A and B are shown apart, each in its own frame.
Chain A
């Protein structure tokens, strides 16, 4: 009897809610990551603590190329994505067709990347639609999937996939603006553009920070598109960090991956803490 009561007590404790998930997180994420952290500071030859893995990383040309491409990609995509999705969100905000258009623009988010690879190739091959379209303006066909143009394909596929997502974030932020305020301004004779410039945009400022950060974090998922369109060894302009990590992985250069992974984790932790700070402030 006593045992049953004790068992019941354990079963009802709040820890029974927490332990399964905490165990999973520690076993599959935290502990192995700590092991990687240790390895990143471990010199396999000297059997001693050292920074040699990090040093090797800086001297690695492929690493620098991948970092450069990734930074370039983020720098080009995020302003473009934020601007386009904001324009669409502003357009949708008052549209009668909001529900329908939102579905259409959000659709790519649900389309598995593998499904559109064939279509991407149809569009961007040298003989594909995009060049045929350019041909209408008597521009020369470009091989978009090889050489410098590949970067452009990456940008397009990222924007295509993520625009709906970002737009929904903007719309959610806009829904918080009190309707009475906008109506009052309308009665006072302001034009639509005035209302957007003086009322809507300023109240979107807190959302702007968080949307930027979320888009930054999401931009690291673009590897899927790059891999599916161009395979493991893409043209130089499309070479991203994930390609590099995969190649190291195949060659079992674990020292380099662990140092690279730890450095990236550092950047991500900083960005995440910044995001949390923004959330706390907006509350």
Chain B
């Protein structure tokens, strides 16, 4: 296994940096059920990190811990070299951690442009008063934010639907708009909860390309959950495998694929 704490260079020549996020001995319980049992792992700058595992393994719970939707009972979350105290999701978002959801959480009544624009809310600092007067700083800020949003919209090739209300879009495009909103925040860490769930092959290929491009062009660190093993193996630099709330494997796709415990979990060996 690779030394987790040092920067390394990937096979395709991308430089992976220091540890961005460090999860230490995380345990999460719902009543008597342990959804996550004493899991530690890290995410390094510039990486595409995948979390895989069968249904109910605790993958989404883990993503929810990172994004502050759940606070773990035990363990520490370290982000950018500092221990993160228990936080509300909106506070985590303000730290620069953006996310998408498994079953899409968009503002259905608003246009694509407005949706992506909400991703910029944390980049707007003008006071309520100066916004009301629509002068100086507020105006400049609005222009800057609009430019940033348009870049993201161009990048994800959704120019044609900018003015369409999100509620009218097909599923695949909604997923892309959600990614655009997360990207507009210029996050330090981007969390994708099953970005390709329910997509056809063509849509999956598009989404994979976007994820790689985002990582490549913006240098965004990405942590993602995915069911499609083929996709995960192609996309990610390192993979965590979870089963029944435990971590059973962690390493490069190649290492994980040859891990006996992982093979057992996926092929279904009885648990005793």
Co-complex (A, B):
no
A residues engaging B (CB < 8 A)? none
